[in-house]
Amino acid sequence: MNNLFLRTARFYDLDMSDLATHDLAFYRRYTAQSGGPVLELACGTGRVTIPLAKAGHRVHGVDLSQSMLAILDEKVRRLAPEIRERISFTEGDMAEFALRMRFSTVLIPFRAFQALTSFEQQRGCLQAVKRHLEPGGRFILNVFLPHPRIMQTWESPDDRVDWVAHDPKTGETITRRSRRTQIDPGRQIIYPELTFEVTAQDGSTRTFTDQLALRYFYPYQIQTLLITHGFKIEEEWGDYRRSPLGEGPEQVFVCTPNA
Q: What string marks each residue from 67 to 86 as x (binds ligand SAM by CB under 6 A) or -?
A: -x------------------
Contacting residue, 4, 174, 245, 255, with ligand SAM by CB under 6 A: 4
Write out the binding residues for ligand SAM, residues 5-34 only, by CB under 6 A.
5
- Answer yes or no whether residue 95 interacts with ligand SAM by CB under 6 A: yes
**Dihedral Cα 89, 28, 54, 106, nearest 10 deg:** -20
- Answer yes or no whether residue 252 interacts with ligand SAM by CB under 6 A: no
Which region holds residue 188: left if phi is over 0, alpha if psi is between -120 and 50, else beta? left
- Answer yes or no whether residue 53 interacts with ligand SAM by CB under 6 A: no
- Answer yes or no whether residue 109 interacts with ligand SAM by CB under 6 A: yes
Find out whether 32 and 54 touch, Cβ atoms under 8 Å.
no
- H helices of the chain, in order, are 18-34, 49-54, 66-77, 81-84, 119-132, 150-153, 219-228
For the CB of residue 93, give the shortest distance to ligand SAM in the complex, in Å.
4
Read off the DSSP letter of residue 174: E
**Tally of helices (H runs) and strands (E runs) in the chain:** 7, 12
For the CB of residue 55, give the shortest distance to ligand SAM in the complex, in Å.
16
Read off the DSSP letter of residue 114: G
- Answer yes or no whether residue 65 interacts with ligand SAM by CB under 6 A: yes
- Kindly tell me which of 67 and 104 has the beta carbon lying closer to ligand SAM: 67
Q: How many CA atoms lie within 13 A of 183 on its CB side?
A: 16
Q: Which stretch binds ligand SAM (CB under 6 A): 75-83, 90-98, 179-187, 235-243?
A: 90-98
> Which residues contribute to the site for ligand SAM (CB under 6 A)?
4-5, 42-44, 47-48, 62-65, 68, 93-95, 109-110, 112, 115
